[in-house]
Structure 1
Amino acid sequence: MAFALWAIGKQKFEFLDEGIEAFSQRIRHYYRFDYQVFHQIKYRNKNLPEQIKSDEWQVIESSLKPQDMLILLDEKGKEFTSVAFAGWLEKSLAVHTGKRMVFLIGGAYGFSPEAYARADQKLSLSRMTYSHLLARLIFTEQLYRACTIIRGESYHNE
């Protein structure tokens, strides 16, 4: 099984990149893991959010494989506790053996209707709103935490 975290945007802050890389290395002790940032689409006319979302989706879609399981990290998605997320992940690993699970953080305007149609699942990190940059770090830590919970290791305390 392999995981991927894809994001649309910029890599602005070195300290966030360092944190993401630290958790990425830890995740790789358990599963293959790929972290990739796709450049955001820029237009001079900011009144084109639907066009921007559509163009961003085309870039993402061209990188997806037909068998990939796509999970959108979306404010309208299902919320989990850390333990419940680990349980969901473990079940998904059993059901979708051999597939890559691609977790996607959208651009500034969110996702296109085509992205929602292709998605297998929508997850929410919180009811709070985070910057896209911070969401990458939070999700990477939660994925690592889920790996340790699945393995019964002592990182997570209740």
Structure 2
Amino acid sequence: MTIKLIAIGKTDSTELQYLISNYSSRLRHYVKFELVIIPDLKKSKNLSETEQKRKEGEALLKLVSPSDALVLLDEKGKQFTSIEFSQLLQKRMNSGLKNLILVIGGPYGFSEEVYKRATQKIGLSKMTFSHQMVRLFIIEQLYRGFTILKNEPYHHQ
């Protein structure tokens, strides 16, 4: 299985870039992993929220194949413990899924078209985090999930 994380806009913080790169590298020891960045829309200040979500959604959906599982990182999504999340990963791998695509939306969230295409929504917390931080959090949780599945000592219960 390949896991692809798609996010809108670049990460400005060099510290976050370093940590994201570090955990991405660790994660690749367990699974094929790819981080795809959709560039920020040009002249987005001239767009309404709905129009911005629509344009970001179009760019996002171009990267998704019909057979891909599309999982949105959404504040209203189901929340998991790290162990439950690792079990979800195992279930997806056992199903023969080729591509698991996780998506971090833009500043206003997702368009209706993206919500309709999604197979699942996952919430990381009831708190709101910056889109930059969410990248690090989900990559670290993916890494943690695979260490749990391999019974490695990274996660402590």
In which range does the TM-score fall when normalised by the shorter chain?
over 0.9
Look up the equivalent residue of 2:18 and give its one-letter code.
Answer: E
Using the size of structure 2 for normalisation, the TM-score is: 0.96
Q: How far apart in 2 are the matches of 1:139 and 1:154?
A: 19
Q: How far apart in 2 are the matches of 1:10 and 1:83?
A: 30
Report the CA distance between 1:155 and its aligned residue: 0.5
Residue number in structure 1 paired with 2:85: 85
Residue number in structure 2 paired with 1:44: 45
Residue number in structure 1 paired with 2:55: 55
Matched, 1:119 2:122: no
Q: How far apart in 1 are the matches of 2:44 and 2:133?
A: 24
Q: Could you report, residue by residue, the CA deviation over 1:22-81 in whole angstroms, capped at 9, with x for unpaired residues?
A: 1111111011000111112242325x0111101001111111122111000000100001
Look up the equivalent residue of 2:143 and give its one-letter code.
Answer: Y
Report the CA distance between 1:94 and its aligned residue: 0.9
Look up the equivalent residue of 2:23 and give its one-letter code.
Answer: F
Runs of 4+ in 1 over 6 A off after TM superposition: none
Residue number in structure 1 paired with 2:9: 9
Using the size of structure 1 for normalisation, the TM-score is: 0.95
Look up the equivalent residue of 1:140 and give its one-letter code.
Answer: I
Q: Could you report, residue by residue, the CA deviation over 1:97-147 in whole angstroms, capped at 9, with x for unpaired residues?
A: 141101000000100001000001100011110000001001110000001
C-alpha root-mean-square deviation of aligned residues, in Å? 1.0
Q: How far apart in 1 are the matches of 2:155 and 2:62?
A: 37
Q: How many residues align?
A: 156
Between stretches 6-15 and 71-80, larger displacement belongs to 6-15
Q: How far apart in 2 are the matches of 1:98 and 1:121?
A: 14
Look up the equivalent residue of 2:115 and give its one-letter code.
Answer: Y
SS at match of 2:100: strand
- Structure 1 residue ranges without an equivalent (≥5): none
Look up the equivalent residue of 2:39 and give its one-letter code.
Answer: H
> In the TM superposition, what are the counterparts of 1:16-27 in structure 2 within 5 Å?
16-27=16-27
SS at match of 2:44: coil
Report the CA distance between 1:88 and its aligned residue: 1.2
SS at match of 1:34: strand
Q: How far apart in 2 are the matches of 1:50 and 1:74?
A: 17
- Structure 2 residue ranges without an equivalent (≥5): none
